[in-house]
């Protein structure tokens, strides 16, 4: 079975500062990787995904994540955060050969004015 | 519909009661997933449907949990003889079947179940 580790449960950051949310996974096979965001009182939304091709993937709101196979990581970054980025962020992995998705425990990002 | 809907949004059950949680996926989505999210945890996979066929139920924690999708659209997750450890948010997600679209899951708002 896969496992996903999000080491930081809470990340406070000042507005317009950069942020990195860390995600590591355990797998010896090809994987598909995802970041989901959950805004207060809303459901999970897909933020970005890595399926194949370029290891750097970007979202429409300025987030990016880089797949690093040697370090089994898929860290999420944004160079300048906004108040509206305050949310819970979940990293997820799928083995690509099955139907199961494995989620991390989430990182709560709080942007401070 | 515009998105995945779930009902009820909140459910309080006394220990030992049976509950039924409903999920309406996005119209035309073939794949449907159920997850359980305990407080402070990430979602954990429960079961997966492709149309009306339940292809994977390996995540169901006990035989008290039962899911169905008889017509390949609406799905119901039933929990019999609820226990306090069943308290969690139950999430439903759907996706298209073809190729990489399978991996783009759309989540509902969840049903928060509290067992007292």
How far is B47 from B66, CA to CA, in rounded Å?
Answer: 9
Q: What are phi and psi of A80, to 5 degrees?
A: -155, 110
Using a CB-CB cut-off of 8 Å, the residues of chain B touching A7 are none
**Domain of residue A80, CATH code:** 2.60.40.10
Left if phi > 0, otherwise alpha if psi is -120 to 50, otherwise beta: which for A16?
Answer: left
Q: Is B98 on the interface with A (CB under 8 A)?
A: no
Give yes or no for residue B1 having a pLDDT over 60: no
**pLDDT-derived band at B63, boundaries 50, 70, 90:** very high
Q: What is the pLDDT of residue A88?
A: 96
* Residues B11-17, mean pLDDT to the nearest whole number: 97
Contact A7, A95 (CB under 8 A): no
pLDDT digit string, tens, across residues B66-103: 999 999 999 999 999 999 999 999 999 999 876 666 77
How far is A109 from B4, CA to CA, in rounded Å?
Answer: 25
Q: Which residues contact B52 (CB under 8 A, 6 or more apart)?
A: B69, B70, B71, B72
Q: Which residues contact B98 (CB under 8 A, 6 or more apart)?
A: none
Nearest CA in chain A to B58: A100
Q: Which residue has the higher pLDDT, B83 or A2?
A: B83
Q: What is the pLDDT of residue A26?
A: 87
pLDDT digit string, tens, across residues A53-102: 888 888 888 999 999 988 899 999 999 999 999 999 999 998 766 677 88
Q: Do B105 and A90 touch (CB under 8 A)?
A: no
Provide the domain count of chain A: 1
Range of the domain at A48: 3-112
Domains in chain B, ordered, with CATH?
A: 19-104 (2.60.40.10)
Q: What is the pLDDT of residue B61?
A: 94
Average pLDDT, chain B: 93
Contact B96, B30 (CB under 8 A): yes
């Amino acid at each position: 079975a896969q496992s996903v580790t999000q080491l930081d449960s809470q990340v406070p950051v000042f507005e317009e500062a950069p942020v990195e949310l860390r995600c590591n996974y355990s797998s010896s096979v090809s994987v598909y990787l995802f970041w989901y965001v959950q805004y207060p009182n809303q459901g999970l939304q897909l933020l970005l995904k890595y399926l194949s091709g370029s290891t750097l993937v970007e979202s429409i709101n300025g987030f990016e994540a880089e797949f690093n196979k040697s370090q089994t990581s898929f860290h999420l970054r944004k160079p300048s955060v906004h108040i509206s980025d305050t949310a819970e962020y979940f990293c997820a992995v799928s083995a690509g050969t099955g139907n199961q998705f494995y989620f991390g425990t989430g990182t709560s990002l709080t942007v401070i004015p | 519909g515009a998105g995945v809907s779930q009902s009820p949004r909140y459910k309080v059950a006394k220990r030992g009661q049976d509950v039924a949680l409903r999920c309406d996926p996005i119209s035309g989505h073939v794949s449907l997933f159920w997850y359980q999210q305990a407080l402070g945890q990430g979602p954990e996979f429960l079961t997966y449907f492709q149309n009306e066929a339940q292809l994977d139920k390996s995540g169901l924690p006990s035989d008290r949990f039962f899911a169905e999708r008889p017509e390949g659209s609406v799905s119901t997750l039933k929990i019999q003889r609820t226990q306090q450890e069943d308290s969690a948010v139950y999430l439903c997600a759907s996706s298209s079947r073809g190729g990489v679209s399978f991996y783009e899951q759309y989540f509902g708002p969840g049903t928060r179940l509290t067992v007292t």
